Amino acid sequence: MDGGSHGASGMAEPTVAPGDHRYDGLSGEGSDLGRILALSDGVFAFAMTLLVVNLVLPTIGSSAQAPGDLGAYLGNHWLSILGYAISFLVIASWWSQHHRMFAAIRRYDERLVRLNNFFLLTISITPFMLALVFDYGQSQVFGGGTSAKLAVGLYSAAQLVSGLLYLAMWRHATSGHRLVDPALPDEWIRYLDRHAIGRVLIMTGAIAAAAVLPVLGEVLWVGVLIDRRQIQRPDAPARAE
């Protein structure tokens, strides 16, 4: 038996031909992004759906209530309804940015997967952070109470971490065109990079603003919903033939 071609156990060393997609991901790297995107979309969908749990319906007693009671309830809880709408749109905007980023990514490695998982963690915790704002911040939001400042600050901090992780993913993927299409123009890389930095700065400002007056921090949350992509937006990259 030729010992040079076999190990001590008598079995040949396993080999995988480069580009063999049957073993895509076996070494932690690959080009099939399907499962990564499926998990990501699932987390986004679950977080967006779970937000509505924080909206509590008014309790109707055994006796008939006046028609104006529902209007009074809605008037007293308009901040909760607004907070739900803003948070839903914030998560939706993160999904849009995540979709845009992975439209440029062609391959993945272990670091990208880890960063994406941590990013999804910050998305999944958004309903809990919003519940803190509902439970501890609404009654004092205009008065600047300690609980409101902490609740709004924590929500903003979670969004800040989301932005930092998103930025880390994008820079890891685009450094030396590591995981993106080699033909992706540098101007698009810089453009999406600036857009991510903008979100980080907005949430940093929201944390500082919440320490002064919580409602100011909530106002800044709306800043991430403003579509700044049309400002100095590069031309679409040409499709490879």
For the segment 48-69, what is each residue's pLDDT rounded down to a tens digit?
A: 998 887 676 666 554 445 555 7
Q: Domain coordinates of the chain in residue numbers?
A: 33-38+78-231
pLDDT value of residue 130: 84
Integer Cα distance of 199 and 205 in angstroms: 10
The model carries a pTM of: 0.78
pLDDT value of residue 217: 84
Integer Cα distance of 127 and 144 in angstroms: 22
pLDDT value of residue 8: 47
Architecture of the domain made up of 33-38+78-231? Up-down Bundle (1.20)
Integer Cα distance of 60 and 53 in angstroms: 18
pLDDT value of residue 22: 59
Integer Cα distance of 141 and 134 in angstroms: 10
In tens, the pLDDT along 95-127 reads 999 999 999 999 999 999 999 999 999 999 998
Which residue has 């999406």 as its token pair?
Answer: 192
pLDDT value of residue 165: 97
pLDDT value of residue 86: 84
Q: Which stretches in the chain have pLDDT values below 70?
A: 1-25, 27, 54, 56-68, 70, 72-77, 137-144, 227-241
What are the tokens at 6?
């076999």
pLDDT value of residue 138: 56
